[in-house]
Amino acid sequence: MIDIVKISQALSDPIRHKILLMLLNHKECTSPRCPTDLVGVCNCEIMEQFGMIQSRVSYHMKELAESGLVTEIPQGKWKYYDLNKEALREYIKELGVIFQL
Amino acid sequence: MIDIVKISQALSDPIRHKILLMLLNHKECTSPRCPTDLVGVCNCEIMEQFGMIQSRVSYHMKELAESGLVTEIPQGKWKYYDLNKEALREYIKELGVIFQL
DNA sequence: CAATTGTATCAACTTATTTAGATGTAAGCA
DNA sequence: TGCTTACATCTAAATAAGTTGATACAATTG
């Protein structure tokens, strides 16, 4: 079941909002370090894209994952993220239902 | 223009969420103090419904009004609030557009 | 197996949000 | 006009959220 307040909270931070958009439009990670041919965006990309340190990225990705907006895909040492469009769809659907739109 | 982050922020507080639902299902204020036959919910109702002091209600209603989710209707000494469904509709529409749902 | 790499978590700190109580202001009423 | 009522705003305090640097840990690599 969807938690409207929690998802709203996750969406209410400008950086998380940008990260979600990045996940949406992601291309394969070009870093030679990362395994290629994987779905999702890796932490290193997010760090580079926004000039954020690792623990900060980790914190925000955890928030997003706990809200359900993002799916975590651990790959050995690495961790990838995928936008959970279905959660977003349920969120807007639920808003429509409870506010009778 | 809709500010997704700001509206998400407004929605991300449990009390504000409840207030919005109250505005949605409001009936006429039964308090003998208030002028009748007015659209909207008055502050006194919100205070009573949630057992909140006046300054707290004032704070949250300002947040909601500034996000655009709520319309303020001053009536002399009183202030009434109306749920702005159109803002909610634009919010979910915009989410759909930017996240390509 | 030792060194390296990627991520998680912790503790300390900073910043933002929420709350309560006090005070201000303007409208309505005796 | 003076009193009361409804709401706004300010200040201070409490709580929550976000940031950073340090440390821990597990997977990978040489």
Give the end-to-end CA distance of chain A in Å, rounded to a whole number. 20
Give the up-direction half-sphere exposure of residue B85: CA atoms within 13 A in the CB hemisphere: 11
Q: Topology of domain B4-98, per CATH? A: Arc Repressor Mutant, subunit A (1.10.10)
Q: What is the pLDDT of residue A81?
A: 94
Judge whether B95 is closer than 8 Å to chain A, CB to CB.
yes
Q: Give the closest of A17, A85, A101 to B85, CB-based.
A: A101
Write the ipTM: 0.89
Q: Give the closest of B9, B11, B100 to A4, CB-based.
A: B11
Average confidence (pLDDT) over B6-11: 98
Quick one: tokens of B83? 């749920």
Q: What is the pLDDT of residue B38?
A: 57
Strand partners, A74: A79
Residue-range domain boundaries for chain B: 4-98
Give the closest residue to D16 (Cα–C1′): B13
The length of chain B is 101
pLDDT < 70 stretches in chain A: 27-40
Which chain A residue has the Cα nearest residue B3?
A12
B90 Cα to chain A: minimum distance (Å): 11
Q: Do B100 and A24 touch (CB under 8 A)?
A: yes
Residue B33 has pLDDT above 60, yes or no: no
The length of chain A is 101
Q: What is the pLDDT of residue A33?
A: 58
Place B72 in a pLDDT band, splitting at 50, 70 and 90.
very high
Judge whether B21 is closer than 8 Å to chain A, CB to CB.
yes
